[in-house]
A and B are shown apart, each in its own frame.
Chain A
Amino acid sequence: MERRLIITDERGEHSVTVFDDGRVIVDDAPIVTSIAGAGEIRLGPEGSTVAWVATAGEMRWVFLNGSVYELETQSAGRRRRRATSSHSSLSAPMPATVIRVEVSPGGHVRRGDTLVILEAMKMELPIRADTDGTVTTVSCKPGDLVQPGVPLVEIE
Chain B
Amino acid sequence: MTFRRVLIANRGEIAIRIARACREAGLESIAVYSDADRDAPHTCAADRAVRIGAAPATQSYLSIDAIVEAARATSAEAVHPGYGFLSENATFAAACERAGLVFIGPSAGVIQRMGSKVAARELMSSAGVPIVPGVTATDQSDAGILSAAGQLGFPVLVKASAGGGGKGMRAIRDEQSASELIAAARREAIAAFGDGTLYLERLIDKPRHVEVQVFGDSHGNIVHLFERECSIQRRHQKVVEESPSPALTEPVRARMTEAAVAAARAAGYVNAGTIEFLLEGSGDDARFYFLEVNTRLQVEHPVTEALTGVDLVRAQFTVAAGGRLPWTQPEITRRGHAIECRIYAEDPAGGFLPQAGPLLVYREPGGPGLRIDSGVIEGGTVSVHYDPLLAKLTAAAESRDAAIARALAALKRFPILGIRTNVPFLIRLLEHADMRSARVHTRFIEDHALELLTARDTPVEALAAAAAIGPASETLPSSAGTPPSTASDPWATIRGWGR
Given A52-B361, A123-B235, A127-B490, A24 contacting B496 (CB threshold 8 A)? no
Q: Is the CB of B354 within 8 A of A60?
A: no
For the complex, is A132 an interface residue (Cβ under 8 Å from B)?
no
Looking across the interface, which residue of chain B has its beta carbon closest to that of A43? B461
Looking across the interface, which residue of chain B has its beta carbon closest to that of A32? B464
Given A52-B361, A66-B412, A123-B235, A71 contacting B466 (CB threshold 8 A)? yes
For the complex, is B459 an interface residue (Cβ under 8 Å from A)?
yes
Choose among B165, B356, B461 the residue that contacts A51 (Cβ–Cβ < 8 A).
B461
For the complex, is B371 an interface residue (Cβ under 8 Å from A)?
no
Q: Is the CB of B460 within 8 A of A64?
A: no
For the complex, is B469 an interface residue (Cβ under 8 Å from A)?
yes
Q: Is the CB of B463 within 8 A of A14?
A: yes
> Could you tell me the distance between the alpha carbons of A131 and B464 in the complex, rounded to whole angstroms?
31
For the complex, is A137 an interface residue (Cβ under 8 Å from B)?
no
Q: Is the CB of A51 within 8 A of B462?
A: yes
Q: Interface residues of A: mostly helix, strand, loop or mixed?
A: strand
Q: Is the CB of B460 within 8 A of A66?
A: no
Kindly list chain A residues whose C-beta atoms are within 8 Å of the C-beta of B427.
Answer: 66-67
Kindly list chain B residues whose C-beta atoms are within 8 Å of the C-beta of A63.
Answer: 361, 415-417
Interface residues in B, total, Cβ within 8 A: 71
> Could you tell me the distance between the alpha carbons of A58 and B470 in the complex, rounded to whole angstroms?
11
Kindly list chain A residues whose C-beta atoms are within 8 Å of the C-beta of B351.
Answer: 125-126
> For chain A residues 15-49, which have a beta carbon within 8 Å of chain B?
16, 18, 22, 24, 26-27, 29, 31, 33, 35, 39, 41, 43-44, 49
Q: Is the CB of B493 within 8 A of A90?
A: no
Looking across the interface, which residue of chain A has its beta carbon closest to that of B470? A55
> For chain B residues 473-499, which have a beta carbon within 8 Å of chain A?
473, 475-476, 478-485, 487-491, 493-499
For the complex, is B399 an interface residue (Cβ under 8 Å from A)?
no
For the complex, is B283 an interface residue (Cβ under 8 Å from A)?
no
Choose among B461, B475, B496 the residue that contacts A70 (Cβ–Cβ < 8 A).
B496
Binds A, one of B42-50, B199-207, B418-426: B418-426
Choose among B356, B468, B478, B479 the residue that contacts A41 (Cβ–Cβ < 8 A).
B468
For the complex, is A136 an interface residue (Cβ under 8 Å from B)?
no
For the complex, is B457 an interface residue (Cβ under 8 Å from A)?
yes
Given A41-B469, A95-B384, A56 contacting B484 (CB threshold 8 A)? yes
Kindly list chain A residues whose C-beta atoms are within 8 Å of the C-beta of B468.
Answer: 18, 22, 24, 33, 35, 41, 53
> Could you tell me the distance between the alpha carbons of A11 and B495 in the complex, rounded to whole angstroms?
9
For the complex, is B360 an interface residue (Cβ under 8 Å from A)?
yes
Q: Could you give, for residues 66-84 of chain A, a 1 whenever the CB lies within 8 Å of some chain B CB and a 0 otherwise?
A: 1111111111001010110
For the complex, is A101 an interface residue (Cβ under 8 Å from B)?
no
Q: Is the CB of A58 within 8 A of B484?
A: yes
For the complex, is B75 an interface residue (Cβ under 8 Å from A)?
no
Looking across the interface, which residue of chain A has its beta carbon closest to that of B384? A94
Looking across the interface, which residue of chain A has its beta carbon closest to that of B458? A9
For the complex, is B472 an interface residue (Cβ under 8 Å from A)?
yes
Choose among B353, B408, B417, B467 the residue that contacts A16 (Cβ–Cβ < 8 A).
B467
Kindly list chain A residues whose C-beta atoms are within 8 Å of the C-beta of B482.
Answer: 83, 85
> Could you tell me the distance between the alpha carbons of A26 and B457 in the complex, rounded to whole angstroms?
14
Given A56-B485, A57-B484, A94-B354, A70 contacting B423 (CB threshold 8 A)? no
Q: Is the CB of A148 within 8 A of B384?
A: yes
Least Cβ–Cβ distance between A110 and chain B, in angstroms: 13
Least Cβ–Cβ distance between A148 and chain B, in angstroms: 7
> For chain B residues 238-259, which have a beta carbon within 8 Å of chain A?
none
For the complex, is B438 an interface residue (Cβ under 8 Å from A)?
no
For the complex, is A108 an interface residue (Cβ under 8 Å from B)?
no
Q: Is the CB of A67 within 8 A of B473?
A: no
Most chain A CB neighbours (cut-off 10 Å) among B456, B461, B471: B461
> Could you tell me the distance between the alpha carbons of A11 and B496 in the complex, rounded to whole angstroms?
9
Kindly list chain A residues whose C-beta atoms are within 8 Å of the C-beta of B484.
Answer: 56-59, 72
Choose among A18, A56, A91, A129 the residue that contacts B467 (Cβ–Cβ < 8 A).
A18
Q: Is the CB of A16 within 8 A of B463?
A: yes
Q: Is the CB of A54 within 8 A of B488?
A: no
Q: Is the CB of A67 within 8 A of B360?
A: no
Q: Is the CB of A68 within 8 A of B423?
A: yes
Choose among B363, B416, B458, B497 the residue that contacts A11 (Cβ–Cβ < 8 A).
B458
Q: Is the CB of B466 within 8 A of A62?
A: yes
Q: Could you give, for residues 397-431 of chain B, a 1 whenever the CB lies within 8 Å of some chain A CB and a 0 otherwise?
A: 00000000000100110111110110110010000
Kindly list chain B residues whose C-beta atoms are within 8 Å of the C-beta of A93.
Answer: 353-356, 384, 489, 491
Looking across the interface, which residue of chain B has its beta carbon closest to that of A64? B462
Choose among A56, A66, A123, A128 the residue that contacts B491 (Cβ–Cβ < 8 A).
A128
Q: Is the CB of B424 within 8 A of A39?
A: no
Least Cβ–Cβ distance between B388 and chain A, in angstroms: 7
> Could you tell me the distance between the alpha carbons of A14 and B465 in the complex, rounded to whole angstroms?
13
Q: Is the CB of B460 within 8 A of A61?
A: no
Looking across the interface, which residue of chain B has its beta carbon closest to that of A31? B464
Q: Is the CB of B491 within 8 A of A68?
A: no
For the complex, is B54 an interface residue (Cβ under 8 Å from A)?
no
> Could you tell me the distance between the alpha carbons of A65 and B431 in the complex, rounded to whole angstroms?
13
Looking across the interface, which residue of chain B has its beta carbon closest to that of A16? B467
Q: Is the CB of B489 within 8 A of A70?
A: no
B residues engaging A (CB < 8 A)?
A: 56, 165, 235, 351-356, 358, 360-361, 363, 384-385, 387-388, 408, 411-412, 414-418, 420-421, 423-424, 427, 455-473, 475-476, 478-485, 487-491, 493-499
A residues engaging B (CB < 8 A)?
A: 3, 5, 7-11, 14, 16, 18, 22, 24, 26-27, 29, 31, 33, 35, 39, 41, 43-44, 49, 51-75, 78, 80, 82-83, 85, 89-91, 93-95, 120-123, 125-130, 148-149
Q: List 15 A-B contacts (CB under 8 A).
A: A35-B468, A39-B360, A56-B484, A61-B360, A64-B462, A66-B423, A67-B496, A68-B424, A71-B458, A75-B473, A80-B480, A93-B489, A122-B165, A123-B352, A126-B351
Beyond known contacts A5-B472, A33-B465: 20 more, CB 8 A cutoff: A11-B457, A14-B458, A14-B463, A26-B467, A39-B360, A52-B361, A53-B465, A53-B468, A54-B360, A55-B360, A58-B472, A58-B473, A62-B417, A63-B417, A68-B417, A68-B424, A68-B496, A71-B458, A73-B467, A93-B356
